[in-house]
Structure 1
Amino acid sequence: MSKQALPASPDLAGYTAVHGDIVALLEEARRAAARSVNALMTASYWEIGRRIVELEQGGKDRAEYGQALLKRLSADLSQRFGRGFSERNLEQMRLFYLAWTPAQISQTASAKSTPARISQTASGERALRAISETPSRHSIDITALAQAFPLPWSAYVRLLSVKNTAARRFYETEALRCGWSVRQLDRQVNSQFYERIALSHNKAAMLEKAETAQPGDAITPEQALKDPFVLEFLQLKDEYSESDLEDALIQHLADFLLELGDDFAFVGRQRRLRLDDSWFRVDLLFFHRRLRCLLVIDLKIGKFSHADAGQMHLYLNYAREHWMKPGENPPVGLVLCTSKGANEARYALDGLPNKVMAAEYQTVLPDAQLLEAELERSRRELEARRVGRGGDVGVGE
C-alpha cells in the first residue's frame, strides 16, 4: 500500500497575511462586543434612572418618598436579578439621568461645535426618538437608546463624581475626542486636568499631550468584559487573578485549608467589594466554625509591605460592617505573600475586642510557619509544572 501524501505546507507569506487578518478581525469583534454590552447596560441604567425620577416626583414628600422607593426597589430587584441593584447603585442611576437629561443629550447630539454623542445617521435619529419616548406609556427601544451613550458605564460613574458641571462636560468631551479609556479618564480627573488647563497659557499643547496614552492606560476586551459593573449586569461569576500562578496558588491554598479539618468552611473566592467607586477583590473567604468568625485571606505575589497591611484592615472593616452576621465574632485577616526565596504569612488581629480573644485565635488558627511552608511547596510545584508544560499552570489538579 502506498503511503498517503502529506498535505503541502501553506505558503508562509500567504499564511502570515491570513493569520494577521483573522487576529485583527477577532480583536475588533471582541472590542465591539465589549462596547455593545457597555452601551446596552448604560442605556438600561439611564432608563431606570428616568423611571425612578418620574415615580419619585409623584411622592408627597420627595426626599422621604425617594429613599423609601430606592430601598424597596433595591430589595425587589436584587432578589430577582442578583447583585448590582443596591440602594447606592440605584441612586447613581437616578443621578445619571438627572445629569444627562434628554434635552442635554439631544442638544449635544445636534450641536456642530462639539463632538456628537450620537452620530448623525439613522441609528442616531432612532436614539433621539427613543429618548423622546415616554417610558411609562411606551416600550423603550433599548438598542436605539444605547447609541446615545458611547462611553462605558464605568466612565459615567467616574464622571458623576465630578461635582463641577463644567468640568464634567469637559472631561466627557475630551474622553470622546481623544478616545480615553476609563483608566485615562480617571488619571486625568485625579490630576485635576480641567483646573490645570484653565490656568495654563498653552492650552493647545496640554490638550494635545492629553491625547497620548500612557503605559497601563489601555484596556483589553477581556478586561472590559471583566469590569465588575459588567459582571453584575450579566450575572456572571466573578473570578479573576492577575496570573495563572496566582490563580493556581489560590486554589491550592483553599484545598490546603479544607484539608486541615472541618473547622474551615469555604465561603467564596475572589469575593468582590466596592468602596465608593473603587473595586477590590478578596482572594479567599472562609468561615471558622470553632472561632465563629470570617477569615479574610489575601494573597500577594511579592514581598509583604505596609500597603498590604493597610489594605487588609480596609477589608476587615468592610467585612465587619457588611458580611458579619449577628452572633459572630469579628473577622480575622490573613495576608500571604510569596516571592522566590521569601514567603510570609501575617494575621491581622487588631480588630478583636481584647487580647485574650486574640491569644485564643492564635492557638486555633494555622501556624504562620506552616502556611509559609505550604506556600513555598505549592509555588515550587506549580512553577515546575509550568516549566514542564511550556508555560501553562494546571489549576485544581
Structure 2
Amino acid sequence: MGADIIKDSEFREWLIDLKGRIRQSQLKAAIKVNSELLRLYWDLGHEIVLRQMDAVWGSGFFEKLSKELMKEFPEMKGFSVTNLKYCRYFYLFYSQSNQIRPQLGDEFDNLLFSIPWGHQKFLIDKCKSVHEALFYIQKTIKNGWSRAVLMNFMDANLYQAQGKSINNFDRLLPELQSDLARETLKDPYNFDFLTLSENYKEKELEDALVTNITKFLLELGQGFAFLGRQYPIKVGSKERNIDLLFYHLELRCYVVVELKVKEFEPEHTGKLGYYIEAINNQLKKDVDNPTIGLLICKTKDDIEARYSLKSSSQPIGISEYTYSKLLPEGFKSSLPSIEEIERELNQDDMDKMD
C-alpha cells in the first residue's frame, strides 16, 4: 500500500512541495532566531557604550559580566568575554556614521540583522567603513555566501574592484542596465589562481582561464554563464573567433570578452565593437538586452582608455588583470601532463597484472 502511494505522481508532487515549504519555514525560523540574537547583541553593546560601563568599572567589567550571564543562562552561548567585547564593537562600528541609518531607515536594520553573527564579526574586523560592510552584507544576502566565500571575496578586495572598470555604459545603455552592468564589472580582476610561465601568450592565458573556468567564473562574479572560447562568428566570407563568450543571467545579455596580455591600445575597442555588433545581429534575440563587451588587459592608461570609449558606438568596459605567480620559463613545460600521468599509472597497473 505504502509503495503504491510513493509511486503516485500526485503524491510525489505534493511531497516535494511539502518538503520545500518545511525547508522554507526552517530557514525563516533560523533567520528570525539569528535576527533576534543580533538585536540582543546590538542592545547590549548600546548599553555598554551608553553607560560607559567598561570605563566606569575598569578592565574587570567584561569578566564579571561574562561570569554573571553564563551563570544565569548556562544554555546560551555568546556571553564569553571576547563576544561581549564584540557586542560593544558591533554597536560602535555601525554607529560611527550618523547619516547612513536615517538615509536607509528600516532597510538598515533589515541588512544589519540578516546575516550570521560570525559574518558580522569578520566584517567588524576587516572593513574600514560602514559603506564597505553594508556592501558585503548586501552581497552575502543576495548570493547566500558562506563565511568562507565572504572571506575569499574580501581577500580579493571586491569592494574596491567592483564597478571600477572604465566604460561608456551610461551613454549607450538604458539607465537600469547601465547601472547593473557598471556594478557587475570589476577592475582589476585577480588571476592568481592560474599557473603561467614567463612571457606567456594570449592563447596560454585563455587556455588557463578555460581550464580553471569554475574559478574564473567566481572571479567574474555572480550571473555569468560560459558559452565558449574562440567562439566562431562569420561576417561576409570571413570567419573570426571571439576569445570568450558569456551570457549574463541578470543583465540578460551576451558578454563578449577579449583578453590582452599587454598594454591597452585604442584599436582594441574597435575590434571588440565589431564582435559586439556581430553578436547583436546573429545571436541576440528580441528578449535579450544589448550585448556588452569586456576588454581585460595587462595594463591601461586610463585617459587613453576613456578617449577610445568616447568614439565607440558599442557598450564596452575596460579592466586590468593582476597576476603575480609567474613560473620560471621552461619550468611549466618540464611538468608532466595529466595524460602522461594517466599513461604512467596505467602502465604501473599493467606491470602489476603481469
TM-score after normalising by structure 2: 0.42
Q: Using CA pairs below 8 Å that are at least 6 residues apart, which structure has the higher relative contact order? A: 2
